[in-house]
Each structure stands twice: as structure tokens, then as C-alpha cells.
Homo-oligomer: A and B are copies of this chain.
């Protein structure tokens, strides 16, 4: 009888927990949080670009270009150098470092490429509308890959396998820096990382631990979701407290777009993408949470709230796509030579 009673209590608890979870899922959705869809048809609709529809040919070509250091002036730096798919889709350093070991002049941190497709705009100041456009920037930036766009095209045109792959991916289109960006962008669109958080929002009440659910609740209630929302838990533009008592606001001369807005970083895989902030000012996620509470929400979060939010972040570590390391086609006598200077 005692055992039967206990089972009944357990069943009641499960039921209460399920109801509570469902309420939290509703609360999350009301706060603007959205999962990565389970169904591939919905996912592809979400990540696709009508102006550059994803195809298998573009993904394969884009992946090769993404890993190809010969798109840089030195032939040493690829997209993957700073947005390393092995280490959370970013580098592991505070400030982006490129050609001739130059640091980003605004002391900007390389953001992760994983789930960047969910950003409303690209770059910290949001100056680029999409991944296809964004991809052409670092190739040419003097402190990044430092390549002349004509030289990048020359490299590709000098390698017959690339010419064929472009013809397959973009039939009849001329190879330009834009076509290169379209191929890389198509590949990057596929770099999404579904997590337990998505399973939860998609209806699996047991996908999060009790503590993670508490954390999600706290995350919503203190107001984090007012900026970190949507499928990306971020990716929009938000005002940036450029002055004030927070040291992180005063490093560098970067103040975002002309309205002072800065891109809200995605929180997906956040525990794999330290250091944090646009300037990589801290490696400590709890410090980052506390500072955001003060700087953006005007609240001094309690240690319990901070811990709880950090616990929720564990559920945001997603499953990375399977990447076969590409074997790149060999250069020819016509390929422009590297220039280390």
C-alpha cells in the first residue's frame, strides 16, 4: 500500500512537472524564444536565402573555400582560422588577429559562425545584411585575410577543379568575390547546432534538468530575453552602453553602428565561445552575466540568479554538424603566389 501510494505520488509529481514545463515553454515562447525546427523542411525554409538558395553543390564548394588559406594574401589564413569549427566556431582569443599578426583596430572579438545564420544582420555593427555579403569582408580586410578581391578571384580561376565546381554551383555566373561569398554563405547557413534547449521548446519536457528549467525561467524573468531572443537567442541589434562605470564599455573605440547599436551575440554554445563581449573582455560567463545585468538591464543580479542562468546555458551547447575535412584542389602555375608582407 505504501509502495502504491508512493507510485501515485510520483505520478502526480511527474504530472505537475509536465504541466509546469508546458507553462514554461509557453512563457519562453511569449518572451520571443524560438527553437531550431525539428523538421528539415522547416529548418531549410528558415536558413535558406531566396536570393541564393542552398544547394548541395554550393555547400560543398563553400566548405572548401571556407577552409582554403589560399584565399588570403599570405596563403596561411582561412575563414576557419578565426571561426574555427573545431572550437565553437570562433578563435579562442580576445581580439581577432590576422595578416602579419595584426589585431582588429577596434579590439573586436571574432564571433562564432555557428548559428550566425539566425542573426538579423552580420558584423558587430550590423553593417552587412547576410552571410553571403559578410563572407567577402574578412577576405579583403587588411588586418584579417588581407586579400585583393581580384587576387581571390584569380586564385579560384587558376584552379580547374574550382572552376568546375563554380560552374556546377552557379551555372553561367561569372566568378567574382560575390560568387565566392555566395558559396561560403551557403555553407555557413548549414552550420546550425540543435541542442537540448530546442528539444525542450519543441515539446520534450524532459530535455532540460530541473535546474536548467529554473535557469530558463530566471533568464526570462530578469529580462535577458528582451535582447537574447528569437531562434538565435540574440542576433538582433541593441543599444550599447558606450559610457559608464563598466570597464568593458570603455575599451577600444568601437561604438557600433551610427545609432550606437551593437549586434547582440547569440547565446547558443555560449559555454564554448569565451572570451565574451565584442572586445573579449572576460572569460568568465558568470562575470559576463552580472555585467550584462547591470549594463543592459540596470539590475544587480543575485548570485543565485547568475548561477541559475549559467546553469541554463549548459542546455544551449548544441550538436555540431559532421564535417569531413576537405582535401583542397591543388594550385597551378597560374595561381598567384603568397605574399607574407
**Which residues from chain A sit less than 8 Å from chain B, CB to CB?**
67-70, 74-76, 81, 84-88, 91-95, 97, 100-101, 103, 271-272, 274, 283-284, 320, 322-328, 330-331, 333, 337-338, 340
Contact = CB atoms under 8 A, between A and B. Distances in A.
B337 A283 contact: yes
B86 A330 contact: no
A325 B325 contact: yes
Classify the secondary structure of A's interface with B: loop
A86 B272 contact: no
B324 A88 contact: no
A200 B321 CA distance: 39
A286 to B, nearest CB: 10
Residue of A81, A274, A283, A327 with most partner-chain B CB within 10 A: A327
B328 A86 contact: yes
B95 A68 contact: no
B330 A271 contact: yes
Contact of A87 (B74, B86, B94, B328): B328
B325 A93 contact: no
A84 B97 CA distance: 19
B67 A93 contact: no
Given A93-B338, A95-B340, A101-B100, A325 B328 contact: no
Contacts of A272: 330
Nearest to A74: B93
B93 A70 contact: no
Contact of A69 (B75, B92, B326): B92
